[in-house]
Structure 1
Amino acid sequence: MQNKNIDSIRIHINAKKAEIGAQLKAIRKSKGISMYSINKQYGLSRDRVIAIESGTSAYTIDSLILYSIAIGKEFVIDALITSLSINRCIDYRTID
């Protein structure tokens, strides 16, 4: 039972990472911001940007914050903090 729950959580997390990454990539592209400029101005490597935008590998919260600042959407982090502070978190123990 425990493994099924962990697998469900991982599937949910990966889906959310992909969804968030796709939205962030669309914002970056709509603003005409290149991966190169993010690397030069904020020190995020092309590989790290790809990891964030694809949602296929782990990245640090530091990288996500830098990325959101680089594309002018720091509110992404502010919204997450607000969501956590008002208890809108998903109770992963109930995911089937």
Structure 2
Amino acid sequence: MVPEEYRELTERHAKSILDENKPTGIIEKQLRRFDSSLVDVETSCTPVLYEDKKAIQSVVRDITERKEIERTLEKVSKEINTLSAPVVPILEGVAVLP
């Protein structure tokens, strides 16, 4: 299910796909599961004819695990950068951090 914050965007994309008859690229967003939890997904949509009517075929892929890994890598990278700041000695007993 499409959460409220993505409904307008989803409607605009659907209208654009049908009007221009062009597929979308891959779009990352969140969808709501039937149990009301949010899930990170990437979607791609393609205009098709279904029973002689314009329709949209959507492919949705769960990317929750990938997004969790990306968040963890970003956190670790920030920690590494914080810990690896070089200490530059200026005088005996005096040093600076850039």
Band the TM-score falls in, shorter-chain normalisation: under 0.3
**Which of 1 and 2 has greater Rg?**
2
Higher strand proportion? 2
Could you tell me the TM-score, scaled by structure 1's length?
0.27
Higher helix proportion? 1
Could you tell me the TM-score, scaled by structure 2's length?
0.27
